[in-house]
Amino acid sequence: MTENRNISSLSGISNDLSDTSNGVTLNAFAKINLTLDVLGIRSDGFHEVEMIMQQISLCDTVTVDWQPMEDAGGVYINLNTDRSDIPSGPGNLAFKAALLMADMFGKKQRGQISIDIKKSIPAAAGLAGGSSDCAAVIHALNVIWELGLPLSELCRAGAKLGSDVPFCIMGQAAANDLLKPAFSDDPLSCHCALAYGRGTELKPIRPGLQSYIALSKPGISVSTAEVYAGIDSEPVMIHPDNSKMMQALSENNNKVVRENMVNVLENFTLKRYPVIVYTKNKMSDLCNSGSALMSGSGPTVFCLCESQAEAQHICCEMLKANEESFAVETTR
C-alpha cells in the first residue's frame, strides 16, 4: 500500500543534494525488555518508567530513496509496505519520521522521499517494530541529506515520535554496517541500555546481553495504552532490580540476567489474556533456564537460550501454537 503527501510548507535547514537519486537500506532491529518497571504518572501524563532494553537480530528492512526535483513545490513522501495491515500514510511512524526530518532539516529540499518497508517484526507485539522503522528513516535521511547529526540530536528528534524510537536509533547505529563508521566514537552507539523518564532518556550498557533467544507472539494484539492505564490499578509486588541487572549485563553473567528478568506490566496482561499465560508457561517448560518473560506491553514472550539449537527447538515447538515464533540472537 502506498500514499503520497505534499509537505511543502516546512521549516528547517538542510544541505543541497545533487540531481541524482540517493538510496539507503538499513536493518530496523526489534528490541526486548529484560526489565520493565513503572514508577508512577508524570506531570505530562506519561508514565515514569525504568527499563532495560536489548536489541535483537529480528529485523525489518527499510529502504529510503531520495529523488531531488528542482521544480517540486517541496518534499513529497511515498511509503510502501509488504503488509496490508500496516498503515502506509501518516498513521505509520516511518511516514511521520520523514515528515519530522523534512520539517526540521529539509526546508531547502525539493523532491520525493520514497520509503519501502519489508516487515519481519510482528506488529503490535511489544518489540518496537514501528519505532524501529521510524528510527531507520531518521538515520537514512541523516545520511542522504548529509546532515552529520550526532546520535544525541537524532534521539531528540525521535523522542518527538515515540518513547522507544531513541533506543532504536542508538541500537541501529551500533549494528548497521553503513552507520558504524560515522558513530564509532559516539557514546550513545550501543546495543543495550537503561531507559528512564518517559523511556527516552538512555544510559548505554556495555557489552549488553549476548545470547540466543526464542520469541513467540500469540495471535492477538494488546493495546499499549490499555496496559499502561490498567497497571495503575494493579498492585505491583515485585519490582526489577535494575542495578543488579546492569551489573550482570556488564559482566556477561547470563545466569544472573535470567534470574532478574521482571516486567511489571505482566501483572495486568496475564490476568486478562489467557493465551499469554499459556505462551509464557509453555516457553518456561521448554527453556532450560525455566524462565520466560513478556516483552514490553506484550503479547510477545521470550526466553534466553544457551544455544542456537535450543532456541530453534523452542521456536519449532511454539510454532504449533503461535505462527509468529522466531529463533534469534542479540545484535553485536
Does some domain include residue 274? yes
Q: Is 277 exposed, middle or buried (0-12, 13-18, 19+ CB in 10 A)?
A: middle
The response to whether 148 counts as a known ligand-binding position is no
Query: Across residues 127-133, what is the average pLDDT?
Result: 98
CA distances from 284 to 28, 37, 53, 213, 290 (A): 28, 21, 21, 13, 5
Q: How many residues does the chain have?
A: 332
Residue 1 has pLDDT above 60, yes or no: no
Q: Is 199 exposed, middle or buried (0-12, 13-18, 19+ CB in 10 A)?
A: buried
- Tell me how many domains the chain contains: 1
Does some domain include residue 235? yes
Query: Across residues 294-323, what is the average pLDDT?
Result: 98
First to last CA, the chain: 33
Q: What is the pLDDT of residue 164?
A: 97
284: which 3 cell numbers?
A: 518456561
The whole-model pTM stands at 0.91
Does some domain include residue 196? yes
294: which 3 cell numbers?
A: 513478556
Does some domain include residue 212? yes
Domain holding 322, by residue range, is 10-329
d(CA 143, CA 137): 10
Query: Across residues 53-57, what is the average pLDDT?
Result: 99
Tens-place pLDDT, residues 201-233: 999 999 999 999 999 999 999 988 899 888 888
The response to whether 132 counts as a known ligand-binding position is yes
The response to whether 127 counts as a known ligand-binding position is yes
Tens-place pLDDT, residues 67-83: 998 887 789 999 999 99
Does some domain include residue 27? yes
The response to whether 298 counts as a known ligand-binding position is no
Structure confidence at residue 7 as a pLDDT band (50, 70, 90) = very low
The response to whether 130 counts as a known ligand-binding position is yes
Query: Across residues 36-40, what is the average pLDDT?
Result: 93
Does some domain include residue 5? no
Q: What is the pLDDT of residue 10?
A: 25
The response to whether 295 counts as a known ligand-binding position is no
Does some domain include residue 266? yes
Does some domain include residue 160? yes
Task: Give the CATH number of the domain where residue 27 resides.
Answer: 3.30.230.10
Catalytic residue numbers? 31, 164
Q: What is the pLDDT of residue 14?
A: 27
Q: What is the pLDDT of residue 43?
A: 81
Structure confidence at residue 237 as a pLDDT band (50, 70, 90) = confident
